[in-house]
């Protein structure tokens, strides 16, 4: 999806693609769940999805279900979606409003929006029972530029340390004040890592994305983050185009106080392990990925616009349609890759210098698993 030219700062040292088992093995997929998705900061969407007290979203992370909600003080909180009585799932819907508190559908234990157990019928005769001993199990939560992140680890690394390159980096794009103007859900029959690798290079773009390369040359741009959990850089928009849209024209007002350079660029960053962030002058697109099994990933894609763009005079669907088309091209080729790496004939092939960010992504995966690079 994105592309960046090779930089001498990104040595790939003859790196090769990962062995097939990294995309097909249930054992490695389980390891990733424990070592990566249960320990890293995961984006669960925009904070404006939970505007009012009691608003919640449910996020599935492997076997864990997490409730992310707004409490009465306006703070965002997250809890394991597990009753402290018999373990029953408290919220079954994907989103909604729990009202003044969370009530278990089984035996009607009630929890306040800050997680305290405030009601437990027929427990007065349980010896030593104290409601204060049975709050919901908390999950670490952080807000960044209008996005909500959660971390399942009990000893979670502080967000500002774990994803330090993000802090303050995109302030000029006015991210907290943008409004969702498009939303598409995808179910892709490919391993989550293939999707990240694909996003990180445009070696494939000339053949897979003919409309994209007409607006932004496949070899344009430069990387500025090329190791660690945040990787990316920018591509250049052609002088005769206004943005990445079906018409080639801008589909909104500038999202923020952008520089002249920003007006001619699209910035693409992968945020390990489940977010892809693409910043255009007139809108911002982001993907969140949820691995389902070694060969399947659910993806949510949303488009953010300045409120003035949605008030009239612009056609946000011009940008949404462009990337929906491009997304589907990417998902198709990733599904073809998944089928290929499942073959006994597949062996790791050499990476091109134009795939240096894919190499960096592989290194992050392997390091997170505590392994040596294959």
Looking up residue 207, the CATH number of its domain turns out to be 3.90.380.10
Q: How many CA atoms lie within 13 A of 231 on its CB side?
A: 29
Position 13 in a domain: no
According to the model, what pLDDT value does residue 12 have? 80
User: How many domains would you assign to the chain?
Assistant: 2
Position 1 in a domain: no
Does 4 score more than 80 pLDDT?
no
- The one-character DSSP state at 158 is P
- The one-character DSSP state at 349 is -
Range of the domain at 194: 21-37+172-368
Lowest mean pLDDT among 11-15, 146-150, 283-287: 11-15
Long-range contacts of 79-86 (CB under 8 A, 24+ apart): 79/111, 79/115, 79/136, 79/137, 79/138, 79/139, 80/136, 80/137, 80/138, 80/139, 82/136, 82/137, 83/107, 83/109, 84/109, 84/117, 84/134, 84/135, 84/136, 84/137, 85/109, 85/120, 85/134
According to the model, what pLDDT value does residue 10 have? 66
Position 130 in a domain: yes
Q: At 59, phi and psi to the nearest 5? A: -120, 125
User: 258 - beta bridge partners?
Assistant: none
Lowest mean pLDDT among 6-20, 26-40, 171-185: 6-20
Instruction: Rounding to the nearest 10 degrees, give the CA dihedral for residues 337, 339, 342, 344.
Output: -100
Q: Give 9's pLDDT tier (boundaries 50, 70, 90).
A: low
- The 10s digit of each residue's pLDDT in 286-333 is 999 999 999 999 999 999 999 999 998 899 999 999 999 999 999 999
Does 8 score more than 50 pLDDT?
no
Q: Give 251's pLDDT tier (boundaries 50, 70, 90).
A: very high
d(CA 138, CA 111): 12
Q: How many CA atoms lie within 13 A of 248 on its CB side?
A: 11
Q: Give 172's pLDDT tier (boundaries 50, 70, 90).
A: very high
Q: Let me know whether 205 and 354 are in one domain.
A: yes
- The one-character DSSP state at 350 is B
According to the model, what pLDDT value does residue 163 have? 97
Does 42 score more than 80 pLDDT?
yes
Record the pTM. 0.94
Asked if 266 and 237 count as a contact pair (C-beta separation under 8 A), the reply is yes
Among 108, 127, 156, where does a domain finish? 156
According to the model, what pLDDT value does residue 280 have? 98
Reduced to 3 states (helix: H, G, I; strand: E, B; else coil), residue 342 is coil
Mean pLDDT, range 221-228, rounded to an integer: 91
- The 10s digit of each residue's pLDDT in 176-205 is 999 999 999 999 999 999 999 999 999 999
């Amino acid at each position: 999806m994105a592309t960046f030219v090779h930089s001498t700062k990104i040595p790939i040292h003859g790196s090769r693609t990962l062995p097939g088992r990294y995309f097909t093995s249930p054992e490695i997929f389980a390891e990733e769940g424990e070592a990566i998705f249960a320990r890293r900061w995961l984006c669960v969407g925009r904070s404006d999805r939970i505007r009012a007290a009691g608003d919640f979203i449910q996020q599935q992370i492997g076997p864990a279900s997490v409730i992310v909600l707004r409490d009465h003080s306006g703070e965002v909180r997250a809890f394991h979606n597990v009753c402290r009585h018999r373990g029953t799932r408290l919220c079954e819907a994907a989103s909604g409003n729990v009202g003044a508190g969370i009530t278990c559908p089984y035996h009607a234990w009630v929890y306040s929006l800050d997680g305290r157990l405030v009601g437990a019928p027929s427990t007065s005769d349980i010896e030593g029972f104290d409601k204060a001993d049975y709050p919901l199990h908390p999950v670490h939560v952080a807000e960044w530029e209008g996005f909500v992140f959660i971390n399942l680890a009990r000893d979670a690394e502080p967000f500002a340390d774990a994803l330090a390159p993000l802090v303050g980096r995109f302030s000029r794009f006015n991210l907290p004040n943008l409004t969702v103007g498009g939303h598409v859900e995808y179910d892709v029959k490919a391993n989550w890592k293939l999707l990240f690798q694909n996003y990180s290079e445009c070696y494939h773009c000339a053949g897979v994305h003919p409309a994209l390369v007409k607006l932004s040359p496949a070899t344009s741009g430069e990387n500025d983050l090329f190791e660690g959990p945040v990787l990316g850089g920018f591509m250049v928009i052609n002088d005769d185009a206004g943005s990445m849209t079906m018409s080639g024209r801008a589909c909104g007002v500038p999202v923020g106080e952008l520089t002249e350079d920003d007006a001619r660029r699209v910035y693409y960053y992968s945020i390990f392990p489940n977010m892809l962030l693409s910043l255009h002058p007139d809108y911002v697109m982001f993907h969140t990925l949820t691995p389902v099994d070694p060969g399947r990933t659910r993806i949510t894609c949303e488009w953010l616009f300045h409120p003035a763009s949605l008030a009239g005079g612009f056609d946000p669907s011009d940008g949404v349609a462009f990337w929906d088309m491009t997304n589907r091209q990417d998902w198709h080729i990733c599904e073809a890759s998944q089928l290929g790496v499942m073959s006994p004939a597949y062996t790791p092939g050499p990476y091109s210098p134009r795939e240096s960010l894919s190499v960096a992504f592989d290194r992050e995966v392997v390091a997170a698993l505590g392994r040596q690079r294959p």
